[in-house]
Amino acid sequence: MKQSQGSSTALGLLSQYDRGPFFCELTSPRPDGTADLAAILTRLNSLDQDSLRRRTALADKEMFDLGITFTVYSDKDAIDRILPFDVLPRVITAGEWTRLEAGIIQRVTTINLFLDDLYHDQRILADKVIPADLVLGNANYHEFMRGLKVPCGTYSHVCGIDLIRDQAGEFRVLEDNARTPSGVSYVVENRNLMLQSFPDLMDGAKVRPVDNYGLMLRQALVDIAPQGVDDPTVVLLSPGIYNSAFFEHVFLAREMGVPLVEGRDLVVENDRVYMLTTAGRAPVHCIYRRIDDAFLDPEVFRPDSMLGVPGLMGAYKKGNVAVANAPGTGVADDKAVYAYMPRMVKYYLGEEAILPNVETFICREAEALQYTMDNLDKLVVKPVGESGGYGMIIGPKATRTELDEFRAKLKADPDNYISQPMIGLSVCPTLTDGGVEPRHVDLRPFAVTGAKTAVLSGGLSRVALKKGSIVVNSSQGGGSKDTWVLE
Amino acid sequence: MSELLARNADSIIWLARYMERIENLARILGVAETFARDRSGANWLPVVQINADGERFFARHRIADAQTVPHFYILDPENPTSIISSVRAARENARSLRPLISIEMWRQINRMSSWMTGLSANAVSPGNLSALCTEIKEACQLHVGITEGTFYRDQAHYFYHLGKNLERADQTTRLLDIKYHTLLPRPEDVGSPLDISHWNALLKAAAGYQASRRVLAGSITPKSVAAFLLFSDSFPRSVILCVRQMDWLLTQLRSRYNLRGGGEALELLDELRAVLSDRNIDDVINAGLHEFIDWIQKQLMLIFAELREAFCPSR
């Protein structure tokens, strides 16, 4: 493959491209040796940069017009932003995907088994595979879920597994998102955009479709419907139009063909849930909720929540309504629990983890804390409860003062932190102002579980658009790419 | 899914009302140069009067003129009756309806909103006003066309048209109420060029100029224009036509979708329709046009309240 790349890229789009010391998702030889991306590379290389740039601008405008946006709130304004779309795709070969898919299913299965165990017998705590106080003291552990039988034993119906690829080309799990992971709408809309604005890029490439997600999700929700309900009414529960991910809620409701409801549209009577319609009350059987646990039901969680439905958890406990994801899944995707995941795979399935973790030091453990303190300038340190890339420090890129300040924070509250070596994230050719340059990417595939787990053949590839940056979050200058899983 | 969320029914009625309101206001402002001129010369006050905004307007501006009124009614985000406020409200409703309305409907409203948000004060200056009003009007008509061509014909569609006809009837009565009084000529002005151009402007503001020419031929009088706007069988903005539409829409909703509510609204509509069918313009003017219009507006408000109570209950 190296040879074919050499000859085909001599003059084209990728001729100036230099991936540096990193693994490149398009141009590096695959470690498994099976892939051949020569045809795709030749095609990409033949494209005209100015034309791509023009069409990217049009595609951005179209996303804005269509409201494929997330909302950023400042003190007085609400600004709709698009997730910038980079036209050059990220490609996953069939062989890579087979392994990824198996690894994701293994991981999600483990997460669900762990939650089922935790909310029933707690064998794993008795066997001391994971420290009891780590989970029982976790704010996302809900005692009221204890002993509750959930349909199909599934807790995390929609799970997003964040993966990165290191310099050797090895995929590693960076984070599990077992609560209400977002981003799947971009997977599908990016593909729509690609097909609409850049059909020449995809011409002849055998890429697996992603537009079946709505049906996958709907099927999972039907799987978990209360017993005896043949044709369940499914709804998507959203916090409403002011939520920054509202577009995704619209997208999912549309793709599933179900009503998008807010808490105020639902009432509970005699432990049954109804929605208010023009014809009166109509029963609701399955709820895909995009509201955090804390706001679900003011009678159980935060009493000041205006977004939730009083009595919802009562109906849930009676088995009259299914809720996905189940309350209390947050205990499984905590960054500290994450570190134990390979041991949990072994414990529940008797298998080695197919997808390795990133090496993780749990700062609540004295030895790990000492190591982290001593090597702060070489490590990435993250608070366990935060998401969105906030509150973390990237040691090798921090100033002396920043390191000293962080060391003090870490010392004051070590339980709140984990640390990891800095991984040289893989890159992908990306259209920048300075031409086609390498930018770091990650990957979030989505797994949907009802009676069984299915993984959408694609994923959200987020790209850090700033040169050298490894922070891919949309709130911090990240964009996204279409992700091609090849046949 | 065949159910319609009560909240969505409310939003769809409001979406239709806002879009209709924007179109009407753009039309009034577009002819205001002629329309607003009274016997003493240019005066933009009637525009403020039609919308019953006197108090709020004069809290912000000293005089009603060609600078202040268009700005107040098109670009002022602090004015809840401005076009930009209505556009934002329409977009907000459309946004909550995105799973229901067509993607093309949403896209057009979203684009209209970002276009209008980006307008500068210069866009409403006297030289640009007329062109801007035409663009706004056409954006509304684009909405109407996209809706006709893409909006799935289920309950939501009926509620949409209920809202639209309700707003239309209301707008026509407002226009007539104010202008009939300000335009009633002194005996020496009857038939004068100025008088005629006033009535023409009123008809243009109601999008009825062309049609009225055909129907009324040479007899453009206060009475014939009032009769046209209230009772025309064929003019799409006449009050009676809007009321008949609402009556039909509500009847359809109740029978096709087995909606039990709305009986009171239907009774009110039947009564209003009967009165509009029975009266002729001489009766109305003898008994007082203003009083008659006032009664129609009150009936419309009651009908709206009944509709919302019947179909859009909240928790």
ipTM for the whole complex: 0.91
Q: Rounded distance, CA B77 to CA A157, Å?
A: 44
Query: Same domain for B245 and B277?
Result: yes
Residue, of B222 and B292, whose pLDDT is higher: B292
Distance CA A254, CA B106 (A): 13
Residue A213: per-residue pLDDT: 98
Q: Which of residues 44-103 of B touch A (CB under 8 A)?
A: 92, 95-96, 98-99, 103
Q: pLDDT by residue (tens digit) across A401-430?
A: 999 999 999 999 998 899 999 999 999 999
Give yes or no for residue B183 having a pLDDT over 90: no
Contact criterion met (CB < 8 Å) for B107 and A275: no
What pLDDT is recorded for position B138? 97
Nearest residue in chain A measured CA to CA from B111: A65
Same domain, B132 and B203: no
Number of domains in chain B: 2
What confidence score (pLDDT) does residue B39 get? Answer: 45
On whether both B136 and B42 belong to a single domain, the answer is yes
What radius of gyration do chain A's Cα atoms show?
23
For residue A6, is pLDDT > 50? no
The string of pLDDT tens digits covering residues B69-87 is 999 999 999 999 999 999 9
Are B171 and B300 part of one and the same domain?
yes
Residue type, A70: F
How far does A184 lie from chain B, in Å, by closest CA? 17
Selected residue of A79, A246, A249, A277 to mutate for chain B interface (largest B Cβ count, 10 A): A277
Domain ranges of chain A: 2-97+183-209+441-485, 227-320, 361-421
Question: Which chain A residues contact residue B96 at CB under 8 A?
Answer: 240-241
Cβ contact A259–B315 (<8 Å): no
A280 interface with B at CB cutoff 8 Å: yes
The mean per-residue pLDDT over the stretch A224-249 comes to 95
Read off the pLDDT of residues A434-475 as tens digits, 9 standing for 90 and up: 999 999 999 999 999 999 999 999 999 999 999 999 888 877
A264 at the B interface (CB within 8 A)? Answer: yes
Rounded-to-10 torsion of CA A277, A280, A286, A292: 60
**Residue range of the domain that includes B90:** 1-152
> Which of B98, B99, B311 lies nearest to residue A278, judging by beta carbons?
B311
Question: Distance between CA B15 and CA B194 in Å, rounded?
Answer: 38
pLDDT the model gives residue A473: 83
Compare A480 and A388 and report the one with higher pLDDT: A480
Return the H-helix or E-strand segment holding B289.
helix B289-311
Question: How confident is the model over A197-213, as a mean pLDDT?
Answer: 90
Task: Report the pLDDT value the prediction gives residue A38, as an integer from 0 to 100.
Answer: 85
Q: Quick one: pLDDT at residue A120?
A: 98
pLDDT digits (tens, 9 = 90+) for A361-377: 989 889 999 999 999 99
Per mean pLDDT, which of A27-31, A46-50, B19-23 is the most reliable?
A: B19-23
B110/A262 CB distance under 8 A: no
C-beta separation of B101 from A254 below 8 A: no
B 201-240 → A contacts, CB under 8 A: none
Q: A269 burial class (0-12, 13-18, 19+ CB within 10 angstroms)?
A: exposed
CB contact under 8 A, B3 and A267: no
Q: What's residue A4's pLDDT?
A: 41
Q: Tokens for B301, please give them.
A: 């408000």
Give the closest residue to B176 by CA, choosing from B301, B314, B313, B289. B289
Alpha carbon separation from A127 to A112, A122, A137, A333 (Å, rounded):
18, 9, 18, 20
Q: What is the CATH number of domain A361-421?
A: 3.30.1490.270
CA nearest B104 in A: which residue?
Answer: A66
Chain B CA closest to residue A284 = B3
Point out the domain boundary residue: B152, B182, B208. B152
Q: What is the pLDDT of residue A471?
A: 85
Q: Which residue of A has its CA nearest to B311?
A: A278
Nearest to A259 by CA among A279, A239, A284: A284
Residues 6+ apart with CB under 8 A from A77: none
In a shared domain, residues B147 and B158:
no
Query: How many helices, marked H, and strands, marked E, lie in chain B?
Result: 16, 0
Answer whether B256 touches A (CB < 8 Å).
Answer: no
User: Residue A278 and residue B261: Cβ atoms within 8 Å?
Assistant: yes
* Residue B1 contacts A, CB cutoff 8 Å: yes
> Rounded to a whole number, what is the distance in Å from the CA of B250 to chain A's nearest CA?
12
B137 and B175 housed in the same domain: no
For residue B95, the chain A residue with the least C-alpha distance is: A241
pLDDT band at A5; cut points 50, 70, 90:
very low
Give the number of other Cβ atoms within 10 Å of residue A246's Cβ: 22
pLDDT at B298: 97
Determine what percent of chain A is predicted with pLDDT higher than 90.
79
CATH architecture for segment(s) A227-320: 3-Layer(aba) Sandwich (3.40)
Q: Which of B128, B152, B176 is a domain's end point? A: B152
Angstroms from A149 CA to nearest CA on chain B: 29
Same domain for B101 and B227, yes or no, is no
The CA distance from A428 to A19, in Å, is 8
CB contact under 8 A, A278 and B3: yes
Same domain, residue pair B166 and B308:
yes
Please indicate whether, in this complex, the C-beta atoms of A278 and B114 are within 8 angstroms of each other.
no
B18 burial class (0-12, 13-18, 19+ CB within 10 angstroms)? buried
Place B192 in a pLDDT band, splitting at 50, 70 and 90: low
* C-alpha to C-alpha distance for A187 and A174, rounded to whole angstroms: 19
The whole-angstrom separation of Cα B19 and Cα B174 is: 17
Q: Is A277–B114 a contact, with Cβ atoms under 8 angstroms apart? A: no
> Does B102 share its domain with B235?
no
Residues B241-294 pLDDT 10s: 999 999 999 999 999 999 999 999 999 999 999 999 999 999 998 999 989 999
Interface contact B4-A240, CB threshold 8 A: no
- Asked which of B136, B152, B168 is the last residue of a domain, the reply is B152
Higher pLDDT: B86 or B29? It is B86
pLDDT of residue A9: 47
pLDDT surpassing 90 at residue A200: no
Q: Are residues B110 and B183 in the same domain?
A: no
Mean pLDDT of chain A: 92
Q: Are residues B24 and B173 in the same domain?
A: no
A67 and B259 within 8 Å at the Cβ level: the answer is no
pLDDT value at A80 more than 90 = no
Burial of B296 (0-12, 13-18, 19+ CB in 10 A): buried
Interface of B with A in 148-207 (CB under 8 A): 155, 159
Taking only the tens place, the pLDDT of each residue in B110-159 is 999 999 999 999 999 988 998 999 999 999 999 999 999 999 999 999 99
User: Which phi and psi (to 5°) does residue B177 adopt?
Assistant: -60, -50
Exposed, middle or buried: residue A247 (CB in 10 Å: 0-12, 13-18, 19+)?
A: buried
Give the one of A259, A260, A267 whose C-beta lies nearest to B315's C-beta.
A267
- B187: number of Cβ within 10 Å: 5
Q: Name the most confidently modeled range: A6-10, A241-245, B198-202.
A: A241-245
Mean pLDDT of chain B: 90
User: Residue B173 and residue A334: Cα distance in Å, rounded?
Assistant: 62
Q: Do B1 and A258 touch (CB under 8 A)?
A: yes
Q: Do B147 and B178 have their domain in common?
A: no
Rounded to an integer, what distance in angstroms lies between the CA atom of residue A123 and that of residue B130? 76
The vertex-B213 CA angle with B208 and B218, nearest 5°, equals 140
Q: Does B106 touch chain A (CB under 8 A)?
A: yes
Nearest beta carbon to residue B5 from set A65, A67, A265: A265
**pLDDT over 80 at B180, yes or no:** no
CA dihedral A138, A140, A146, A149 (to 10 degrees): -140
